[in-house]
Amino acid sequence: MSPHSFVKPSSRRAMLRDSATLAGSALLATLFPASLRASFPWNAPWNAPGNASPQGAPADPVAAFRAQMAANPIQPQKLADNLTMLSGPGGNVVVLNGADGKVVVDTFVSPAWPKLKESLDAISNAPLKTVINTHWHFDHVDNNGPLHAAGASILAHENTKKRMSEAHDLPVLNLHFPPAPADALPQQTFATTHKLQANGETLALQHVAPAHTDTDIFVHFQKANVIQTGDLFFNGIFPYIDGATGGKVSGMIAAADKILPLANDSTKIVPGHGPLGSKADVVKFRDMLVTTRDRVQKLKSAGKSAQEAAAAKPLADLEEAWGKGFFNGDVFVQILYTTL
């Protein structure tokens, strides 16, 4: 998930037209964890472009968001003899270790770099070989630069390089995100599929049709029976779907349909956010997406606006199970509305 991606210049008018509430406190609730949101007067006039922040509000809310995520400790979990999941400052990172050098999938937020480096060094003294980005959002690519400087080559889908090369704006908060620096951009890209052989493992990389974004891939560690999904799978929480950079709820469902046949009951499935999952967890996630899509589509087809759809509380019965993550059911209704 990324606050970079709610609005981009080419879709700004449509996004604001279709979901005005996302430009207010509901949008802000999706951008920041509750512990950080508590310090922000979300409905104050400074939210209007050009207005100054009140006393006590962070001068740079995105930097504050990065710092909040980076404060989480990195927790290692062994997935196989040479495969480790690191969880904490911006989702989940997977490290394949061995004599061929380390392969690192996703990279956490930038302030977490010292802790990430320490965790990588603790795994082994093998050199860094390859970094794979599952998609373009900052919490998955922020440390591309230092990892590349440390010796890794960066690999991603071609759309990830394109998105990272662009400036992105969030005008409702008067925020601007410049293009990523050249040393953080992928040096190698692919269009549909790509395979790597390293440390006795085969990594099969698969691009999917626009889902969470238009840049998404998943990584199948075939020998270890591990699948890393990036943000195609949020385990146990409503996902973010980035309509501003191509995301579609139908694509999220289709991505789950691509992943599930590769898994069995022993497969370990690493979500973009949330705890390590299983095939059964992905089935639950897919079923939730189908249910929520159908309910919101019915309201939209009946002529309801995004705000009216949210006010109808179509996801009330799912709130307890899925609404304890980045945002609640009311906000997820509006995200769905813009990505149908």
The string of pLDDT tens digits covering residues 251-293 is 999 999 999 999 999 999 999 999 999 999 999 999 999 999 9
Tokens 């019915």, residue located: 298
d(CA 234, CA 124): 29
The answer for 252, left when phi > 0, alpha when psi is -120 to 50, beta otherwise, is alpha
Other residues' Cβ atoms within 10 Å of the Cβ of residue 286? 19
At residue 156, φ and ψ (nearest 5 deg) are: -160, 175
**Measured between alpha carbons, how far is residue 311 from residues 167, 299, 307, 308 in Å?**
34, 11, 6, 5
d(CA 1, CA 23): 17
Predicted local distance difference test score (pLDDT) of residue 40: 33
Predicted local distance difference test score (pLDDT) of residue 169: 66
- Token pair, residue 58, equals 């962070």
pLDDT in tens, 129-182: 999 999 999 999 999 999 999 999 999 999 999 999 998 765 444 556 789 999
**Mean of per-residue pLDDT scores for the chain:** 85
**186 secondary structure, DSSP code:** -
Question: Is the pLDDT higher at 62 or at 140?
Answer: 140
Strand-pairing partners, residue 338, are: none
Strand-pairing partners, residue 105, are: 94, 132
For residue 222, give every residue at least 6 positions away whose Cβ sits within 8 Å of its Cβ, in sequence order, or none. Answer: 201, 202, 203, 204
Taking the model in full, what pTM does it have?
Answer: 0.85
The closest alpha carbon to 274, from 240, 241, 233, belongs to 233
